[in-house]
Structure 1
Amino acid sequence: MLHEELIRRDAAAIAGVEKLRFFPATMKSGSGAHLTALDGRDYLDLTATWTAAGLGYGHPRVAAAVTEVLRGQPGAGLSIMHEPAVLLAERLLALAPGQGDRRVYLGHAGSDACDVALRCARHATGKRKIVAFNHSYHGGFGVAQAVSGVLVEGGAQVDPDAVFVPYPNPLRPHKGTVAESVADALAQVETALAGGDVAVVVVEPILADGGLVVPPPGFLAQLAELVHRFDTLLMIDEVKVGLARTGRMHAYEHDAVTPDIVCFGKSLGGGLPIGAAVGPAWVLDAPSASALLTMAGNPVCATAALAVLDELEEQDYASRAASLGAYFAERLRDLMAGGGVQGGRSAGYIGDVRGHGLYIGLELVLDRDTAAIASDMTRKVIYRMWQLGVTVFSVGENVLEITPPLVITRADIDTAIGVIDQAICDVADGAVNDAEVAAYSGW
């Protein structure tokens, strides 16, 4: 009864503009890679709350650090200096490679970190154009939202000076072959840069909410070389995929790229809201007092972020993500090859398995030969997985975004594989009807 009552109260009180629901989950607590519902049922979580809970739920190191600083907060960072913010900024400067005099903007989330970085790039260069990619996502408001392809395609107001170019998709090339798609995307970027009025090129190292697209090897390196040849700023958005998740501390390291500006968020706070942009001082230092969020860089969230970074580095979570991610992907590819316990029936609906580390996309299709997108099936598979005790979200129209907390175990992964296999087969057999998922259609 508590479950149904909370659903009713949520509908009556929480604004719809901030809801992206895939199933009627009503959780009361979490620990590690597991969530506990109001009725006491345990759920294995493959979302990490869109990667924000990178170290899982209730991590003891983060909880202890936050509890201690809460006993005597030294104000916030807007008009009063305090050590946690300075320590975090110094730590991020050391963590993110770069040259010259640099600064760190501390904010509330990846959204404002990206927004501030983009606005500062315009001010510093005196140029207006921003080159971004189709189906990209950089934030939920401001300039960051206005240059997010997945949002402007969904109806958000597009920035009048944004230039969108295709993001190369190895499974679904937008122009001929994969190589031709890469060449075309780079050619479109070069055309924009040749005008001399581009302030910054912003890119995700993996296209996240647009469908978890891993670019062809070398694409980011070629893009970086092109951008820097035109003496333009390259901004890489690591908000969702950074900080050890892909098996490297930074996802852009897979292509040996060094950005001019890099943005962090989500898992940086260990479940608390914080974001950061690291970039040249000549970009982020001016205009003074132009990015004023009263509690940005507050000591509680900054302390949580320091604890997160300590844990990630000391326990080498990047290597852990690489190893467990390889195992998870191997098990998924075994399903794709017909190795599931449901008689291999799920294989025909799995069109692709891709990703790095514990950032894995499972693309569902209606037919392997035609790769026809299974959008309706995807919604129902997510719903069915929730019914079976595993939570997962989707990106694009038909991609299960598998981003478990980095503390997930091999036993958890084995459990997840069995549920994915069963859920696909159950949905194919009609176990979930349209009415059940009507109110929980996600994107």
Structure 2
Amino acid sequence: MTPPVSATGPEDLITRDNVVAGIQKLRFFPLALVGGNGSHLIEAGGRTLLDLSASWTASALGHGHPVVAKALARVAASPPGASILSATHSEAVGLAEELLAVVPGGGERRVHLGLSGSDVNDAALRAARHATGRPVVVAFEGGYHGGFGAGFMASGLHISAGSAPVRADVRLVPYPQPFRESDAMARSLSALENALAPGDVAVVAVEAIQCDGGLVVPPDGFLAAVAQRSRAAGALLLLDEVKVGLGRTGSMNSFDHEGVVPDLVTIGKGLGGGLPAAALIGPASVLDERRASALLTTAGNPYSCAVARAVLGHIVESDLPGRSRIAGDRLRSGLSEALADEPCVGEVRGRGLLVGVDLVTDRDTRGGDAAFARRVVYRLWQLGAIAYYVGGHVIELTPPLTISDTEIDEAIALVSRAVREAHLVDDETIAPWAGW
């Protein structure tokens, strides 16, 4: 018999967590949770933590938001099945219509509903190959487009780590890193032109801000240049908005910053407000390509769709992109000031409520300090806040879009203190928590 879930303390849950497969875990500290409210999560044992990750942006409205609870309860009372595989329902159709209204594009378009960023990116890349008759995907070093399928195979992070094989039908080009390279954009665009030159590229997949690769903000004009070169070569342009879309960067779509209109857009994480929901938006000529079949039984289920509609509606009606822009400026400027004299901090960067603190061995060489980053996030958890590192050495801060000014000021104080006190965390303490 399965034992009942216990909330006696974090040690109990951590011990019992051994039954969950290791391949599903990315753990940075012994975090065991039993609840949450707003921008806070509650540990087993009762400690309240300030959530500066929003579960890798999946909890866009924070935890226990009323619009999410209301939408879920409404549909649960009388659900119209659990699938759109062989039937339709108003929640799925309504969500698709509402997504088309906030994601720019021309001509006749379609919306493919999924469960995660991984499956919609897989669908996007396979559909692009079928529609164009071309085999190659161009993506970027350090990029992340999914945990399985075609998106996994085109993720620079997985390829460099040896998790995904090097393939002839995937070409990686450098993503510009202006903090570390003076000619970053020129080198990247030159490599992109070379990758496109053979004329066999179906799609170029890119993130407007590269998150898991180190929260890298490219130079202004980069996306527009990628779009121009992709179209000149007859390749489709896929903007992966899974982590950075829906108001996170201070505009509804992160690519709005440059006025780019992609061919294909993928959205996930925050769309579901904590439930599995994702979407791919693109031309009917690509997404009606039946040979690129992407059938998932519970994709488009009414529970996820109803919550996604509620989340999307709240983001639009409450102007959370505008709030993200203002709150992000407060967080970024506050951290820059608080950490200005710390030699281990190379740069505080980002856009909207997508902020990275780049930790370095020294400011002259700008070499990333991965060991120090592990200590910082662990110390931050000890102090009462949750954040993780990306790219090995960049502390990623992506709090709920609903975070208050008071909570932002608390975050600034806690993060700066964790940086100063990271030396209090020893190797033995963090050894079981490998992170990436």
- TM-score by length of structure 2 reads 0.96
Q: How does 1:2-401 map to 2 (within 5 A)?
A: 2-11=9-18, 13-75=19-81, 76-158=83-165, 159-173=167-181, 177=182, 180-287=183-290, 290-338=293-341, 347-401=342-396
CA contact (8 A) 2:370 2:392 kept: yes
Provide closer, same or farther for how the CA distance between residues 137 and 289 of structure 1 changes in structure 2, counting only shifts above 3 A: closer
1:434 has 2:434 as partner: no
For the residue of structure 1 that corresponds to 2:304, the secondary structure is helix
Deviations 1:67-120 (A, max 9, x none): 110111111111111110011111111111111111011011111000001000
- Supply the distance in 1 between the matched residues of 2:122 and 2:292 (Cα, whole angstroms): 15
- Supply the distance in 2 between the matched residues of 1:394 and 1:230 (Cα, whole angstroms): 36
- Supply the distance in 2 between the matched residues of 1:225 and 1:288 (Cα, whole angstroms): 28
Farther off after superposition, 206-215 or 418-427 = 418-427
- Supply the distance in 1 between the matched residues of 2:378 and 2:215 (Cα, whole angstroms): 20
For the residue of structure 1 that corresponds to 2:406, the secondary structure is helix
- Supply the distance in 1 between the matched residues of 2:336 and 2:408 (Cα, whole angstroms): 13
Query: Displacement of 1:292 after TM fit?
Result: 1.1
Partner residue in 1 for 2:5 = none
Farther off after superposition, 408-417 or 271-280 = 408-417
- Supply the distance in 2 between the matched residues of 1:157 and 1:361 (Cα, whole angstroms): 26
- Supply the distance in 1 between the matched residues of 2:219 and 2:292 (Cα, whole angstroms): 40
- Supply the distance in 2 between the matched residues of 1:288 and 1:79 (Cα, whole angstroms): 17
Provide closer, same or farther for how the CA distance between residues 372 and 190 of structure 1 changes in structure 2, counting only shifts above 3 A: closer
Letter aligned with residue 267 of structure 2:
F
Deviations 1:400-437 (A, max 9, x none): 0000001111111111111112211212xx31110111
Give aligned pairs, total.
427
- Supply the distance in 1 between the matched residues of 2:218 and 2:108 (Cα, whole angstroms): 31
Query: Displacement of 1:288 after TM fit?
Result: 5.8
- Supply the distance in 1 between the matched residues of 2:352 and 2:221 (Cα, whole angstroms): 18
* % same residue: 49
Partner residue in 1 for 2:3 = none
- Supply the distance in 1 between the matched residues of 2:291 and 2:216 (Cα, whole angstroms): 37
Deviations 1:282-328 (A, max 9, x none): 10112168111100000110000000011000000001000010000
For the residue of structure 2 that corresponds to 1:367, the secondary structure is coil
- Supply the distance in 2 between the matched residues of 1:422 and 1:188 (Cα, whole angstroms): 41
Query: Displacement of 1:181 after TM fit?
Result: 2.4
Query: Displacement of 1:370 after TM fit?
Result: 2.3
For the residue of structure 2 that corresponds to 1:362, the secondary structure is strand
Letter aligned with residue 257 of structure 1:
V
For the residue of structure 1 that corresponds to 2:257, the secondary structure is helix
For the residue of structure 2 that corresponds to 1:361, the secondary structure is strand
- Supply the distance in 2 between the matched residues of 1:297 and 1:182 (Cα, whole angstroms): 39
CA contact (8 A) 2:35 2:42 kept: yes
Farther off after superposition, 287-296 or 139-148 = 287-296
For the residue of structure 2 that corresponds to 1:372, the secondary structure is coil
Letter aligned with residue 432 of structure 2:
A
Partner residue in 2 for 1:344 = none
Unaligned runs of 5+ in 1: 339-346
For the residue of structure 2 that corresponds to 1:168, the secondary structure is coil
Deviations 1:151-181 (A, max 9, x none): 11112223430000000001112xxx2xx32
Provide closer, same or farther for how the CA distance between residues 372 and 288 of structure 1 changes in structure 2, counting only shifts above 3 A: closer
- Supply the distance in 2 between the matched residues of 1:293 and 1:149 (Cα, whole angstroms): 26
Query: Displacement of 1:141 after TM fit?
Result: 0.2
CA contact (8 A) 2:114 2:277 kept: yes
Letter aligned with residue 153 of structure 1:
S
Give structure 1 regions of 4+ aligned residues with deviation exceeding 3 angstroms.
Answer: none
- Supply the distance in 2 between the matched residues of 1:211 and 1:300 (Cα, whole angstroms): 33
CA contact (8 A) 2:127 2:292 kept: no
CA contact (8 A) 2:358 2:395 kept: yes
For the residue of structure 1 that corresponds to 2:424, the secondary structure is coil
Query: Displacement of 1:221 after TM fit?
Result: 0.6
For the residue of structure 2 that corresponds to 1:371, the secondary structure is coil
- Supply the distance in 2 between the matched residues of 1:239 and 1:277 (Cα, whole angstroms): 10
- TM-score by length of structure 1 reads 0.95
Provide closer, same or farther for how the CA distance between residues 163 and 83 of structure 1 changes in structure 2, counting only shifts above 3 A: same
